[in-house]
Every structure is written in structure tokens, then in C-alpha cells.
Amino acid sequence: MKEQNNIHQPPVDQHAYELMNAAIDGELGPAEQAELNKLLAESDELQDFDAELRSFVRLLNDVPERAPPEYLQQAIERQIRLPVPKNKQTRGKAISSPLNPKNWLRTGLALAAGIVLTVGIYEMGSGPITSRDASNLTGTIIDKPGSSQGELLDSVHIYTDTLQGAVELRSRGDLFSLDVNVKSEGLAKVVVNIAGRGLEFEGITNGQDFDNDVAVSDDLINVVSEGAQSYSLLLRQTPGSQPVTPLELEFFANDTLVQAAELGGSR
């Protein structure tokens, strides 16, 4: 850096050099442009230097782009667990994986401690969840279920101008959770369609100040939040039913649908 500083002085007046650079970059105002024009008109040396500088900047701008390696996009997508393309998903089909009851047993055993903690904290932190009335806001707030993250089954990211975030579908033993992290400028609404999915709303968890409105019916779960919010929607298998995927989600920003997604489709 020291060595570079010793040689960086331009061979012309510093102010003129700055004006020439800004002009080449198209970032000069009319008054400064007039000033530069005057300086150039008065000096052949400056004109020569300006021409040389323009030629050099053109050279820098002409450096061609390099194509990324062909494998790169796929490698990135593999790492970030992209949602399955719609044409590869099976809508309404009884699932074989990962929500298959056989897999529940396996993952349930592996997550036994987490389940106990989850259910335990849930029971300590809330009363019974009873309402399924679509006309009322009935979300039940319970504490964050400890450190039990559960097994990640699928995820979706939202990156619109007005709403950004991610939703992860996790298996937590006999429960499933939709872990939602969203951030919006105004109101953000997440709608989960559980109609015919063999799942019931069990509760909503949050470890921070809770500022969400939750409406639940047999078919839909609506959560409205503002600003940056993190919460988990807990779902339980309806007795006598088989869970069915994918779950359909819709994301609204200020009542405008900005993205729709499906979670838990077969891969």
C-alpha cells in the first residue's frame, strides 16, 4: 500500500484528474462538466491525458466476462435445497417419504428427547388448543420448543421486494412444524392449506415478542405478522388419517399475493 501510494499521483492537476474520471464515468454534473471543458480547452496536455485516460477506461470496461463453470448452478442449488419444481411434485398423493409413518418411527426414535421437550414445554406454556373456528383468530401461543430443531424435510425461500424469508418443514416426532422466518415492510401473511392433508393445527410457537394474528380453520392456517418475525406452526396427524403432502403455502405482502409454494413434495 505504501509503495502504491508513492506512485499514484497523476501527472496532471489532481482536481482536473478527478473531473476527467467522473466525466468518463458519466457522474459529472453540468457545472463540473463546464469547468472540465474549460480546463481542457486551455490545455493541450490535459486533452492528451484525457484521451489517454478514456482509452484506458474503455480497455477496463472491455474486459470480457468469464462464464462460470457449468457445474456451478447445480452445485449451488444442491447446497441450498431448492424447492422441487412443480412438474416433479405429486399433488395430493399419499406420501411415501419423508412423512411416511415408517420414517416417523425412525426419526421419532432419533428425536425422542426433542419430542419430550417439545411436548413438555408446549404443555407448560399453554392451555389446550380447542378452536377450529375460521371466523375467529384463535392462535395459541406457546413457548419455543427448546433446542429441538427436528429433521428438516423441505424448505422454501421468499425473496420478493416486499417480503423476504424462509419456511422450513420439519419433523418433530409425532408433530410437524413449519418454521417461518419472514421480514416485510408492511403486513406479511402466510397461509397454509391443510385441507385434506390429514393434519391438524396444534399450536404456534415463538421465542420472541409475539406480534402475530393467527386464524385457523379445518382447511387453512393464516398468520399475519409485521416486520421481522420468527415462529413455528405445529401440525399433528389427524387421528385415523394419513398425512398427505405437499402442503400448499401462499405468501402475501400487504394483502397482495407475492409467492406460492409447496412443501414436502416427493423428490
Residue 103 to residue 234: CA distance in whole angstroms: 18
Asked if 31 interacts with other proteins (CB under 8 A), we say no
Asked if 73 interacts with other proteins (CB under 8 A), we say yes
Find the shortest distance in angstroms from Cβ 123 to other proteins.
29
Find the shortest distance in angstroms from Cβ 227 to other proteins.
11
Contacts with other proteins, 106-145, as mask; x by CB under 8 A = ----------------------------------------
Asked if 182 interacts with other proteins (CB under 8 A), we say yes
First-to-last alpha carbon distance for the chain, in angstroms, is 52
Residue type, 117: L
Site for other proteins in 145-174 (CB under 8 A): 156-159, 161-162, 164-166
Contacts with other proteins, 209-248, as mask; x by CB under 8 A = -------------------x-x------------------
Q: Which of 89, 138, 181, 193 binds other proteins (CB under 8 A)?
A: 181
Residue 234: which of 114, 136, 133 has the closest Cα?
Answer: 114
Find the shortest distance in angstroms from Cβ 220 to other proteins.
24
Asked if 70 interacts with other proteins (CB under 8 A), we say no
Asked if 87 interacts with other proteins (CB under 8 A), we say no
Q: Which of 41, 75, 112, 116 binds other proteins (CB under 8 A)?
A: 75
Residue 138: burial class (beta carbons within 10 Å; 0-12, 13-18, 19+)? middle
DSSP secondary structure, the chain, as one string: -HHHHHH---SS-HHHHHHHHHHHTT---HHHHHHHHHHHHH-HHHHHHHHHHHHHHHHHHTPPPPPPPTTHHHHHHHHTTPPPPGGG--TTPBP-SSS-HHHHHHHHHHTHHHHHHHHHHHHHH--------TTSB-PPEE---TT---EEEEEEEEE-SSEEEEEEEEEETTEEEEEEEEEEEEEEEEEEE-TTTTEEEEEEE-SS----EEEE-SSEEEEEEEEEEEEEEEEEEPTT---B-PEEEEEEETTEEEEEEEES---
Asked if 57 interacts with other proteins (CB under 8 A), we say yes
Find the shortest distance in angstroms from Cβ 62 to other proteins.
7
Stretch that binds other proteins, among 37-45, 77-85, 117-125, 198-206 (CB under 8 A): 77-85
For other proteins (CB under 8 A), the number of binding residues is 52
Site for other proteins in 2-21 (CB under 8 A): 4, 7-10, 17-18, 21
Interface residues toward other proteins, by CB under 8 A: 1, 4, 7-10, 17-18, 21-22, 25, 27, 53, 55-57, 59-69, 72-73, 75-77, 79-80, 82-83, 85, 156-159, 161-162, 164-166, 181-183, 185, 228, 230
